[in-house]
Amino acid sequence: MSALLLHALGIVLVTAAMTFVTRSAPFVLFGKKRGTPPIVLFLGTYLPPAILAMLVVYGLKDVRLLAYPYGLPELIGVATVVGLHVWKRNYLLSIFVGTAAYMVAVQWVFQGTL
Amino acid sequence: MMKTVRAAFLTTLPVMTGYLAVGVAFGLLLQKSGYGVAWAALSSVLVYAGSMQFVLVGLLADGSGFVAVAMVTLFVNLRHFFYGLSFIDTFRAMGRRRPYMIFALTDETYSILCTAKPPEDVDGKAYFFWIALLDQSYWVAGSIAGSLAGSLIPFDMTGLGFAMTALFLVLLVEQWEAFRTHEPVFVGLASALGAVLVFGRGNLLLPALVTIVVVLLLMKKRLTREAYAPPTPPAPADGPEAGGAP
């Protein structure tokens, strides 16, 4: 194996190791003891809704509101997903129909966007 | 076991759509920068972190030094530290499956596990495990497919990545219903939007997360008041009580 490939392998392995470090850190810090500290329990309980809201923003971060098509495909997609989910409570239906609506919007309705 | 796998498969179908699409994009990108299918498979099996693997493509192309690689990875993935906080008790009960559950806690698997409820006749721990394993298998399959045949895909995939946003949205609606207070949702929205304004679209996650943690801690007294009612903690049905209202 050439030095270049060996270095590339090293990069992958370092990335893998450090990713596992970030994921296992809370379990190493708080996982051993019998009782998890109350502050961690509090965060563990209240973080998920906040983090999901953040991830929704993350998913929509590349929307340009001030240029054509002014975020309309995203608005259509988001409204379809939320509307369907509040109405029918069916994960797959909400996600598939919402994604399909978005794909139709970006590929056919609002062309020349990408 | 088939019943468990089937239940987990149905739960992870949205992730399958998103991971196959994004995995294909990753495999194709990696292949175009000169690293073929073995590299795609290796990084998706060993690293398994969506956004970090896209960064990895650049690191490989640059031949970056190991220290730089370690620092970048730490920074890009630091948010995962906060994900684990919600599953310390839940994963502790999962025995020999625990290391894999920790390894496989991506944004998407985290999101699914936060709201996943196993069907009544299904072992909750096995169900959680299969959700994590299936999610990674989609990611690996997508990466390999993208590397081998990404440029041959016959239909326009533009917009398929919205499935991931749709998944987060649906799970957010579920979280909205599970809590009596919606304030954490607004904290998350405001923190993320503020982070976009201050730090830009490219680096919103880490500053947003730090803000969320700080603001939630400042609101601790208010959020844990009787009137706000305890939310349902994430836990497999047959697992131990994971926390509850502190």
Q: Which amino acid is at B140?
A: V
CA-wise closest residue to B1 among B136, B98, B133, B102: B133
- Quick: pLDDT tens for B180-198: 889 999 999 999 999 999 9
CA-wise closest residue to B12 among B123, B89, B106: B106
As a whole number of angstroms, the distance between CA B245 and CA A77 comes to 35
- Quick: pLDDT tens for B24-61: 888 988 888 889 999 999 999 999 998 788 889 888 98
pLDDT for the residue numbered B238: 45
Report which of residues B54 and B4 the model is more confident about.
Answer: B4
Do B39 and B108 lie in one domain? The reply is: yes
pLDDT at residue B19 is higher than 70? yes
Residues of chain A in contact with residue B52, where contact means CB-CB under 8 angstroms, are 15, 19
- Quick: pLDDT tens for A102-111: 999 988 888 7
pLDDT for the residue numbered B143: 94
Structure tokens at B109: 């698997």
CA dihedral A92, B93, B124, B51 (to 10 degrees): 20
Do B150 and B204 lie in one domain? The reply is: no
Q: Which domain holds residue B226?
A: 179-230
Count structural domains, chain B. 2
A57 inside 8 A of chain B by CB: yes
Do B135 and B209 lie in one domain? The reply is: no
A93 to chain B: nearest residue by CA? Answer: B14
Do B188 and B161 lie in one domain? The reply is: no
Residues 71-90 of A with CB under 8 A from B: 73-74, 77-78, 81-82, 85-86
Do B162 and B186 lie in one domain? The reply is: no
B2 inside 8 A of chain A by CB: no
Do B160 and B183 lie in one domain? The reply is: no
- DSSP state, A31? S
B129 inside domain: yes
**From the CA of B123, how many Å to the nearest CA of chain A?**
21
ipTM of the complex: 0.83
- Quick: pLDDT tens for B109-157: 998 998 888 888 899 999 999 999 999 999 999 999 999 987 777 667 7
